[in-house]
Structure formats: structure tokens, C-alpha cells
Structure 1
């Protein structure tokens, strides 16, 4: 697929008109029918025949032609046999060290005398013995070569005799008869010449009509060919135009896919640049600030509605975070109460995010009781676990929190306190959680960047592969 849009093919001027084409064909068919009737009239007339005064010359000529064909067939078969024997003789001659048995025996005797003379070296004597063994083994080939050569000579002689039989023997008698009959044929041809001329005139008239008829049929075929050629050209343009539109749609689809991947790469880069645990650290700071503000020691003027018999709340000390001394919480205003999990349902706070986190929070509460799973949700890095203090049954005053505060607790995976006595432990857990986030922020951010870089490389490879496929 080319990366550039396909060029729009040239559109034919008009679509072939089938109705007009049929009208032109009908006009030609009417003319063809008229000429066809005239041609049939010529074909129905009896043609003048050539009179054969004497059929015997034709019979003798036929016999002579048959003899010539038989002789030609015999010569052709003999030539084929000679070619085969020549190939066989050549093959045997290549295998034979000597052309005849006499030459073979002479060579063997010569080598035997040389060996018996004792004048040969050991190597030469061994070579001579090997040659003698080879010559004796090839004796059959030499004999076969001589036989094939003799048969070839006989076939050459037979072929020469066939060529010399043209003017002798039986062929000579047939040639004389053929000459006598040729004179009779010449007389018959003179008588038949006039009839042939009349017949030729009738044939020429019929051929003229036939030529006119053939021309009309050719016009009809040409008209059909031109119409269907124009139709095929128009259909080819439709196909090319459809392919072009499909190619443009495919190009747009590929371009949109590349743009989506490019946007995904940019988003991944932006996410990789963001420090890890940013939202968790913000949540920890917000919770610490909220607990510090809400549960510090109230003034006497702010506690006028409290019951005279109510016991004072325990003072909560918030640990220092980031070098800032936290305030001390002396008591909690009257009427602060956190509903128990058994009395509040999932729809107590109607929020999809809160409901989802509440469901996870309940499942973890079933497994670990009041103990919170404070580790990271996945991966190698997990925050240290935090455990909130169990509420005392000795009249501890319950506390409640807004939905946003509860979502912050769920985000850092710390159970919110249910009483004032648990606030100190929860604050300590939040501080530990925040310290862990700050301690592991750099490493987790680096790991996240490495994963994102790997993913970006994969996306870039996909873009490059897709670009190569697009340019093909």
C-alpha cells in the first residue's frame, strides 16, 4: 500500500448505451438476413460437374501413388533404423579401446611381450597388466561394435538400392503406363475445361455474395467488441475508483491509528514525569491538617452546649511532620459521633468512587478486623502496614468525618478512627505512611519511568512497522 493517496483514474466519457447498441445490431441483422437469402439461392443451384470420360487412368494413377507412398514409408523406416544404429555404433565406439578384435588381440600381444621381456619398470608393468585386463573386459563391446557396424553397412546398402529402383524393374513398367494414361487425361481435361469455366463463374458469384455476408458479420462482431470493450473500460474505472476510495479510507484509518498511538505516547510521557505518591502525600498532609484543626482543645466559650456530666476527651498529640510542630488536641466538641459500619449501608454516602472503596474497605476489614492493609496496591513497593487502636468500651466518645475525609483515609489505606482514643494512633500511622511515601517516591518514580519508556519504545516500534507496511 502506498503512503500517498491513489490517483483518481480517468473516467470514461459516457456509460455504454445498451438500448442504442441493440438497435444498431437489429439493423445489421436485417441486412444480414437479406444477403443470407441471396446466398442460399446460389447454394441451391446445381453446380456444373466435370465429366469423367475414362475412370481407368485415375485408378492406375491411384495405384502408382499408393506404390510411391509405400516406397516412401519403407525408406523413412529404413532411415530411422540407420539413425538408431549410428547412435548405437557411436556409443559402442566410445567404449571400445580398439575398433576391431584383431587390433585388440594385437595390442594384448604387444603388452604381453613387453612384460615378458623384463625391460619394463614395476610401475609400467603394473600399468600394462591393468591395460590388458581392461582390454579383455572390453572384448564384448568390440564384438558388439563390429556387429552393429556390419548391420549399419547392410542397411546403407539397402537404402541405396531403394533409391536406384526408380527407373528399373517394376517401377519402370508402371511409369510407362502412367505416361500413356496421361495423354488420355489431357484429352479429358480439354473437354472439361468449358464446364469448369461455367462452374468457376458460378463459384465467383457465390463467393462475392459470401464475402458481402462475411463483411456484415464482421461489422456485427466489431460492433459487439466495441460495445463490450467500452463496458469493460467503464467497469474497470468503477473498480479502480472503488479501490481508490478504499485506499483513501485505509490511509485515513492508519493515519488516525498512528495519531492515537502518538497521543498515547505523549500521555505516557506526561504520566512518567509526574512524581509517584503525589496524591497520597497530599492526602496525608490534608488528613494531618484536618485532625489537627478539628481535634485540638476547645475554649470554654466553644463548649457551652456540652453536658455537665460528660467526661473530658483525651488530649491527642500529633507527631511532627516535615519539621512542623503539630498542635495538640485536647478535646472534641460535643455531639461528634461516627456511625458504626453495621448501621450505615453502602448507600450512606452515594458516590461511585466511595462505594467502590467502601466495598474494598469492608472486605479488608473482614480479613484483618480493625487492622488496615496499608501497603501499596501492587508492585514491588508497598507502604508499611498501619494499625489503628481499638475503641475502648469505657464510654469513649465516637467521632464522625465528612465523605471527603473518609475518601482520603481510604486512598492511603488507613482506617479512620471511630473514637477520640484512636486519633493519636491514626495520626501516627498517617505520619509513617507519609514518611514511607517520601522515602520511596524517587525509586518508584524511576521504576515507573522505566516501564513507561519501555512501553513508549514498543509503541514507537509499532508506529515504525505500520509506516513500513503503509509505504509498501
Structure 2
């Protein structure tokens, strides 16, 4: 069988041997002894580290760091605040200067505030009102006409410019308000807080440096112990790595050896499976070949032969009396040959058809009533033959000619439909074979998927077992 020998049998590699468990255990014991010795030294150094002075000043150093950071933040905030105050003072100063230069209003252009105050030497509306009242009082007391005229002109001018005085008054009030704010801000600037923060910072910084020096000495002593601990840790790691390498190699050798054993077992199983599949494939091909051969046979051959045999059988009943008597026995035998494979049912007083024993035939000849009987009784097998070709079963001898005509028509129908039915049978056979092949492919695919799933599960289980083994190590 060429298919069975397509895959070569697995061969055990030269470098793969069955591991020697005794030798492996001996080497592993030596490595464990070295690990135990180094572990004792490592534990001793670690004990010295634990007993060495700890970072007792660390809490105080952290407190100093925190306070120094707070002082820095305060100094930065103070600097930022004073900068903002100076900027605010400059802004107020600029505003005051601008207000002094600003014009009285957009509606009345009398000049600057100083120029306006030169023409009207009154700074507030109260002063203007008092001057108007004073002039009116003098006029009422009586003055010369020329003076009265001047006083009236001054009163008129004061009343006209009273609004301007109000604006000047508002400007002056705003200036005074800003000057007050300027003075308050100036008072708030105090350098004593900054000096206090600076002194505290220097004090804490000196303490921090002292603590840092002590800590450096302790750290140097601890570092020496740490170096020794690291050296021993490196040696321990090397021994552990050596042990892991030994175990890995031992496991690898085991895996390779038993993998070969499994592969050999699997190879034999596959060869047996291939042999069975080849046999099944040959059987399927033979069955498909037979199916196609049967489908290629002309259709309705059995139906056409059945029509001929039934016609021959019925014609025996319509022959002449002499012929009928002489051929009655052969007709029965011919009918039996025509329905070979069918069971002809016999009854107590009748045979294949209405023919009876010689004695009863003589009685029938003597009975004029029976002689004229037209009834026709057929065996069950013969009736089933009529059913198979869908022709009505004749129950009387007089119906035989019509039945013969129907048999002829049925035969002609079968002959006419024979090519079409034959082609249809071929098509059905091909479809059946394709369906069988498709089912076979799907089955193979399902088996392959199941095998792949099983292999993946086995691999995962193997990896998990390997991982657990490493954890235990």
C-alpha cells in the first residue's frame, strides 16, 4: 500500500539517550550542597545588615526638607506678592498723573484741571456756592452800579461753571482716594518677614548638612555589607542557574526520548489508520462505480419485461378452446417463469388461475352454469405486478383485450421515457456520489480539527506541567 509508506518512520537522534536518573541525582546533590553553604554565608551578612545602625535621623531630615520647602514657597510667594504690590503702586501713580492731566470733560474744553482752577479759584461746589451767596449778599446790602454789574457777571459765570467745578471735584476726589490706597499699600511693604524667613532657612540648612554627613558615614558602612551580600547573591544565583540548567537538560532529554516513543507509537497508529482509510476508500470507489454502472443501465427494463410477461400470460386466456386446453399447462409454467421471484399463493380449490383438477373439470363440463362463467381470479403476485406498472387488474376474461391494450400503451410509455429516465438516474447517482464525497471530506475535516484540538490541549497541558515543575524548583 503506497499511501501507508508515504511517511517515513521516526528515527531516534544520535544525541538523544534515555537519561540516567542516578547520575543526575548525584550531580544535583553536589549543587544543592554548594547552595546550602553559600546560603549560610548570605544569611550571616544579612543579619549584620539588620543589626547595623538604621536611618534614625531620616525622620528629622524629612522634617527639615519639608520645612525648607515651605520656607522657599513662602519666600517665593512673598517676593511675588511684593512684586505685585510695587506693580500696583506704579499703576496707581500713573493713574493719578493721568487724572491731573485729563481734560475736564469731552463736552466742555476749558483746558487742564490746573488751567481751569486758575480761572475759577474754587476747588469744590461748596466754595462756589459760598462765593455766589457772598456776592448776592453784597448786592442786597447795596453797592455801586459798576460793582453790582461786575458782581452779577461773576455770579452768572460761577453758575455757568458750577458743573465744571463738580467734575473737577470728582476728579480730585478720585485722585485723593488713589493717594490713600497708595499710602496704605506703601505701609504694607515690610522687609522684616523676609529676613526672619531667611534666618530660619540658614539655621535648618546647617542642621540638614550635619545630619547628611552622619548619614553618609553610616551609608558607607552599610554599602560594604551590601556589596558582600550582592556578591554572595550572585554566587547563589549562579548555583541556582546551574541547577535549573541541569534540570532543564534532564527534562529536555526525557522529553526528546519519550517524544520519539510517542511519535513511533503515533506513526504506527497513523499507518494503521491510513490502511483502514485506503480500504474504505477502495470500497467507496467500488460502490460508486457500481452505482454509476447501475444508473447507466436503460431505465424501465424490468417494467417493459413485466408488460411483455403479463401480456403473454393474459393472451393464454383468449386463445381458442382447443389451443387453450392443450396449452393451459404450459401457460401456467410460462407465467411462473415471468414472475420469478414472486410468491404464487395457492388455495384449496384453485391453482395459478381458475384451472382446477381433472375431476372438477369434468364436473364443470357437466355444469352449464359454470361453463358460462366469465370471472377471472389471479394470484396475488400477478395482481401486484399489475399494481407495479399502474394497470388495472382484470377481474373478468372479457376485460383481457382492454387490459392487453393498456399493457401495450404502458410499454410504449416506458420505451418513450427510457432515455430521459436513464439520464435522470445517472444524474441522481452522480449527485449521490458527490454527497458521499462531501460527507467524507467534512468527516475528515472534523477529524483533523478534533486531532488539532487534542494536540493543542496536550501541548498546553505539557506546558502547564513544565511551568508547575519550574515553580516547584
- What is the TM-score with the length of structure 1 in the denominator? 0.44
Larger Rg belongs to: 2
- What is the TM-score with the length of structure 2 in the denominator? 0.43
Higher helix fraction (1 or 2): 2
